[in-house]
Amino acid sequence: MTPSDHADTVHLRAFTEDDLSFLDRLCTDPDALGEFDETERENIRESTLEGLETAARKGKYGGRPPIITDDMLHTVLRRKALGESVEQIQLALIIPTGKRKGQNPSVASVYRALAEYEKTQAYPEAVETAHADFAALQQRDRSPV
């Protein structure tokens, strides 16, 4: 016999009683397919979390980069202190990276960045606590169990 003879070979296998009861349950029990779906969703969730943890260990984080950079925020704060309106300041700002590179950020983006900045200034202890909690979580995730 040559290897090409095996290509045409068909192997038949008889179903056992266990196989038939499984197939019968699969066809008659509406919850059986749901169990498979639930298991698959759990597998997807676990692999996604593992991928996120691996990325975090490498210093990579998901999400879109902020439109208003720290330099832009500094410019906004300085010009706002001089009495300019957000609408006037927004026209002078240019997005440095991403899909909208070279365009002006929206007025809403500028206001959001200002609100976030004001929040960090109003509650500095909350920001420090959040940073410390985050660092502790990262440290815990990195330590071997």
Q: Are residues 138 and 74 in the same domain?
A: yes
Percentage of the chain with pLDDT > 90? Answer: 34
Residues 53 and 74 in one domain: no
| Mean pLDDT, all residues of the chain | 83
Sequence-distant (6+) residues with CB within 8 A of 87 are 107
46 and 74 part of one domain:
no
38 within some domain: yes
Q: Are 77 and 130 in a shared domain?
A: yes
- Reported as a single tens digit per residue, the pLDDT across 76-107 is 999 999 999 999 999 999 999 888 899 999 99
In a domain, 62, yes or no: no
pLDDT band at 108 (very low <50, low <70, confident <90, very high): very high
- Please, which residues have CB within 8 angstroms of residue 68's CB and are 6 or more apart in sequence? 76, 93, 105, 109, 110, 112, 113
In the prediction, which pLDDT does 106 show?
Answer: 95
Domain span holding position 48: 17-57
Domain-embedded: residue 12: no
Whether 9 maps to a domain, the answer reads no
In a domain, 5, yes or no: no
For residue 24, give both structure tokens. Answer: 């019968």
Exposure string over 93-110, b if 16+ CB within 10 A, otherwise e? bebeeeeeeeeebeeebb
